């Protein structure tokens, strides 16, 4: 019996400052119902799916920033989404800004994704590890990318869970650009990785990359899927949001690296694919049989170094590095 799960990529178009959470939850429920009507059992929503992408602005006042955060999930404004999903028997993943206070009374702010099973039970939450952009106001930029100022990196790293008939992992936006993300999840048995993103097409530090935004988006997710024998679902908050063009091109990618479904608009749009989790074995048990072919004894540089270090003399071999 194949382990097939019907998955929907539920792309969101722009969310403006004036859109309330209630407005957005209404759109999320409409997308959920559409996906359900097309047979989806799992619906993947974007990163930071409840508000506009607020790290594009510099705020002096912490209270202004915290207005974009959720102090509980579900909370009063998101409960209708959880209720409708449970009523329909559909699971979902949802990205949001999490403000939480730990047992020592310290406040933490994370870029978080929650995964909810078809029975309404919470499977897990993932807190984004790779925070792109910058920490302080950089007025030279046409818009800011202040995730490093507004969020902390997730302290728990990457993890997988048994859900939806398989092994599921989560990652968020910039995480998808780092091969380590997929490899760690692959080593933890992931057969499916869910990734929401908010990706401005303009990249101020190197505008030559703008024209390649769509190419790079597919490149990194397809490579991650293929090299680890897993399904990848990448879902955008897309369109012209607060004057910034966000990449759409939400897509569902098979363990072969092939795109099996892709959005064609930059608005609210659902695409659905039947994902056979047993296809993962075609790669995990052959080309990418990790236990047979990987050589971790030669990979220690990956965890012992953060930055790159070229040879000081002729070769890094001489320095025993």
Quote the CA–CA distance of 319 and 272 in Å, as a whole number.
52
Both tokens assigned to 313: 């003399």
How many residues are there in the chain? Answer: 321
Q: Least distance in Å: CB of 259 to ligand ING?
A: 18
The residue whose two tokens read 């939400």 is: 250
CB 30 within 8 A of CB 81: no
Smaller CB separation from ligand ING, 182 or 288: 182
Quote the CA–CA distance of 233 and 9 in Å, as a whole number.
7
Smaller CB separation from ligand ING, 209 or 282: 209
Smaller CB separation from ligand ING, 132 or 189: 132
Q: Least distance in Å: CB of 174 to ligand ING?
A: 3
Q: Least distance in Å: CB of 286 to ligand ING?
A: 31
Q: Least distance in Å: CB of 67 to ligand ING?
A: 19
Smaller CB separation from ligand ING, 174 or 181: 174
Strand positions, DSSP E, the chain = 4-11, 42-44, 91-101, 107-116, 122-127, 160-163, 166-172, 192-197, 231-236, 239-241, 244-246, 251-253, 259-262, 269-276
Quote the CA–CA distance of 237 and 215 in Å, as a whole number.
17
Both tokens assigned to 190: 């992931």
Quote the CA–CA distance of 5 and 22 in Å, as a whole number.
30
Residue of 84, 98, 147, 173 marked active site: 173
Residue of 41, 47, 84, 269 marked active site: 47
Residue of 41, 70, 128, 275 marked active site: 128
Active site residue 47: yes
List phi, psi (to 5°) of 8. Answer: -115, 135
Both tokens assigned to 253: 């990618």
Quote the CA–CA distance of 260 and 250 in Å, as a whole number.
11
Q: How many CB atoms lie within 10 A of CB 248?
A: 25
Smaller CB separation from ligand ING, 174 or 228: 174
Peptide bond into 74 cis (omega under 30): yes
- Contact footprint for ligand ING (CB under 6 A): 132, 173-174, 177, 197-200, 203
Active site residue 128: yes
Smaller CB separation from ligand ING, 145 or 284: 145
Quote the CA–CA distance of 182 and 223 in Å, as a whole number.
9
Q: Least distance in Å: CB of 66 to ligand ING?
A: 19
Residue numbers annotated as active site: 47, 128, 173
């Amino acid at each position: 019996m194949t382990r097939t799960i019907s998955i929907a990529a539920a792309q969101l178009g722009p969310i403006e400052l004036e859109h309330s959470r209630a407005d957005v939850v209404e759109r999320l429920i409409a997308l959920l119902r559409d996906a359900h009507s097309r047979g989806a059992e799992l619906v993947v929503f974007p990163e930071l799916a409840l508000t506009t992408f607020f790290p594009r602005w510099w705020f002096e006042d912490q209270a202004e920033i915290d207005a974009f955060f959720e102090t509980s999930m579900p909370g009063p404004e998101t409960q209708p989404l959880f209720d409708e999903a449970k009523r329909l028997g559909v699971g979902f993943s949802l990205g949001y800004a999490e403000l939480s206070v730990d047992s020592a009374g310290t406040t933490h702010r994370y870029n978080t994704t929650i995964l909810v099973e078809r029975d309404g039970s919470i499977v897990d939450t993932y807190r984004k590890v790779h925070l792109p952009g910058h920490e302080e106001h950089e007025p030279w930029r046409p818009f800011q990318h202040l995730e490093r100022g507004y969020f902390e990196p997730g302290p728990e790293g990457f993890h997988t869970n048994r859900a939806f008939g398989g092994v599921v992992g989560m990652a968020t936006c910039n995480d998808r650009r780092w091969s380590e993300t997929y490899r760690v999840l692959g080593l933890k048995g992931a057969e499916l990785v869910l990734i929401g993103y908010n990706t401005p097409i303009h990249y101020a530090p190197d505008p030559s990359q703008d024209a390649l935004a769509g190419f790079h988006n597919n490149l990194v997710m397809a490579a991650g899927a293929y090299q680890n024998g897993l399904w990848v679902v990448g879902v955008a908050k897309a369109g012209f949001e607060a004057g910034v063009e966000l990449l759409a091109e939400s897509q569902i990618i098979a363990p072969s690296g092939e795109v099996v479904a892709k959005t064609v608009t930059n608005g609210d749009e659902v695409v659905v694919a039947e994902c056979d989790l047993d296809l993962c074995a075609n790669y995990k048990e052959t080309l990418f049989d990790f236990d047979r072919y990987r050589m971790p004894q030669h990979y220690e540089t990956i965890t012992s170094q953060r930055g790159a270090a070229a040879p000081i003399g002729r070769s890094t071999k001489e320095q025993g590095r």
